Chain A
Amino acid sequence: MSREAVVVGSGAAGSVVAWELARAGWDVTILERGRNLRPGLGRRDSSDLGTTYGSDELKGRRGYGFPDGLLEPYTTRTQAEARKGVARSAQGALGQLGAAVGGTTLHYNAKTPRFWRQDFHQRSALGPVADAQVADWPIDYGDLEPHYDEVEYRLGVQGDRSAMPERTLRQSPRRRDFVMRPNPPSYAASLVADGARALGFEPYPFPAAVNSREFQDRPACNSCGMCSGFGCPINARGDALVSYLNPALRTGRVRVVDRAWVHRIETTRDGRRATAVHYRDLQGRRHRLAASTVILAGSPINTARLLLLSATGAHPRGLGNRSDQVGRNMMFHNFTLSAALFTRDVKPLRAQSATVQVDDLMGPFTGPEVQALGVPYVVGGVVQVGSGAPPLEASTTLSSLVGHGTALKQLMKVGLHAGICGSQLVHQDLPQAHNRVDLDPKVTDFHGVPSARITYSPHRHEQAAALLLGARMEAMHLLAPGATGAVVLPFPILSDGITYTAHLAGTARMGRDPRTSVCAPSGRLHDVGNVYVADASTWPTYPGFNPTLTIMANARRIARGLIDRPGE
């Protein structure tokens, strides 16, 4: 039996797979289009790795660790534009996750909630929704739980089980307590948490892969506040690289080829098996790497693009695309943003961003107020409470409305790093056939390979959810002690297009029926014996939780299945 695999993408999904395979004695090559930003990778323990990141906003604005919009554009359009025949209405680094060895987790915010039991059978519990393709998952919470537990213990997840509401523990039972106690919440977040309590909600510390004490020789977080979107300068976060990839490289069984752009999976003439992976390097030179097992972990847009690029005579619509579902059901988490306004400088930037979680808006909501909105039910998501904006972000946002000059400068003095506390509701997004990734007919990357094109509009469920739950968000912020006002921006109501959050899923859904799904429950393409999808592409629905812990747990499940029952 084959004990060798090629993995495309070195992020959350790819790193977990590489580690698990290596531990089982497989040899693994990871192809990654990004470059390494952590000096010492593979040569030193994770606690001794260097970093080229810093608390440097401008570096983030210049896309450090991200694909460049000029060289690797995506294009987008709304569903209405697609119906009118508009080929694209925007082009650039749109909806892009990172491109670096270690993937987007290098600069993620490390919030690690678990999904809930109810999320895995929404279709059978709540029935269909018109114009959406809601489907049950072919697995359930129990299938993921052991993997959640293992991943949390490798990442080092902080949290407080005793502070979690009973329903949360019922919906996401845990066999062990968190690895460590939570960090202190920011003062600003605790004010909004009080507001949430006044509304009858039950806020609790947000589980996060952030050290509250020294863990595996990496230090405790010191609440520097420049966290989401920044690499942690002191190595206090657990992520794909320090927790999985670097240990995997140090087994000697795994290698990463960086700056390798995979553009095609080669298959046998009958299309039943993959034989090699083709990639280009920085100079545009082409390479062919023979492969007996291929695992796709490039995140949903890239995975769909690669499957579509790999069309052949046996797979005319794209690899594994007999169901015509490849690229469809593209889901983003739309956000409803809210903020409380204060007359004092409440220091929202002191703490890891959004230290408090509220899960009272998960739903499902089915009462008459929901029926009145014209949808059968509303499912919501978690609220991450307690963020502010560092000054560059604050200034560009404010100047978008007031322009620049004295007005802006005066406003900056009451700034977003000072008198506000913001929160985001992470909305569940229903899968739609017309929200899809395909290949742009004209725009290409710098190698000349067609770009991904994303057609997306929120479903009216998302708009209903934003109206229903946006009011609760606003109320919660108005009730924060000392707040003189609050504001809310419910994105699905304000825009027909994509919110471009960094939370992606869909495009290669798993299921038991090859006519309606792309992958089997094992993650393997129904129609190809040795190609697996390990990232969030396989998810049939997109529950309103930050996805990465579940990406890792599911990748681990898929890897273990491949080791124990190859070809299933």
Chain B
Amino acid sequence: MDFALDQKSVQRLKLLRGLGKELFRPLGMEADKKGEPIPPDHPFFQQIVDMGLVSPLGPDPEKKKSEPSEKRSNRMAVLFAEEASYWDRGVAVTMPGPGLGGPPINKMGTPAQRERFMSVFKDKKPHWGAFAMTEPSAGSDVAGIKTLARRDGNSWVLNGAKTFISNAKRAEWVIVFATIDPKLGRAGHRAFVVEKDTPGFDVTRVERKMGLKAYESCSFVLEDCRIPADNLLGGEAYYEKKAGFKGAMSAFNASRALVAVMAIGVGRAAWDHARQFVRDNYDLGRPIPRYRRILERLATVKRGLDAGRALAWRGAWLLDIGEPNALEASMAKQFCPPAALAACSTAVEVLADAGVRNDELVEKLYRDVKAMDIVEGTQQIQRTIIARRLVGLPQET
């Protein structure tokens, strides 16, 4: 048992820290002030690609059989995700790369599909992928998606609407989950790759969000959107295996611990800012009545953040050693966002009247962090997953 980081990881984190301070934080603040996402042709993205940094999304499937290299381990990914989110969670999501579309391609895709869709990221230019499950009327209740997929000769034809999809407008391809028959529930689900500029695929709006302004959350429609049969992820055979789709969903256990730890990163940023504010403004020279309480509250916040981080680390570590982590990943995802929200809210209060100013960072973090309790399964959904495993809470329809 060892909670210490090795030198190499520390070095990598230092590199990211430099980048975060110089680029992530200022870009994130600017996007927030303007209320606009960072445009895809912004030089920042090319810089990221030139530095060989793509969004940290877990192990390389090619190396899955052997011991995952440390650089690509889930443990390294949680470290990176926390540090990147510390500087700016919105900017971290704009990082070029396959994004949340990576895990399904890696987990479900055939070798030919992996080659076809992942090779685009090798050309030294910024490119993005996206992942589209949520629909206007179905978010938590994934089984309720209505986007319909119909086989027609050598094509699939998709009809439906997706909403809140990160980076969909700039993506080279979007992984679209659809159903071949809504009556079949999850068994009817299929994952498709819809490529940019496919006729019938139309991004209809970029949402106006409370925070996380640096990246685009998009709604799009699919109207008789015809894609090659080859774009069915994994091929027909994949879905005939009983465990097929369920197995694929387990890929998201990795991202759940990541999102959890991202919340911790945001919370830690707020905590750090408040701590520095107290040091700068209320040193012992000018004790104020609430000085002691502020210190106690900062200590309480830190306890929550540290406990949350440990839960997320456990989720990632279990994956690295090849153990199931569904319960542990859900525990991290349930615990971390509220702890981080409390950190941000406390930071706003510690700064007193300055805390509600947009240029003081903490109010932005308070707006940003709320989303972490919604994406990748809300805390309510995590509770049902945890309770199902702990006390056999019956699964709903």
A in complex with B: no
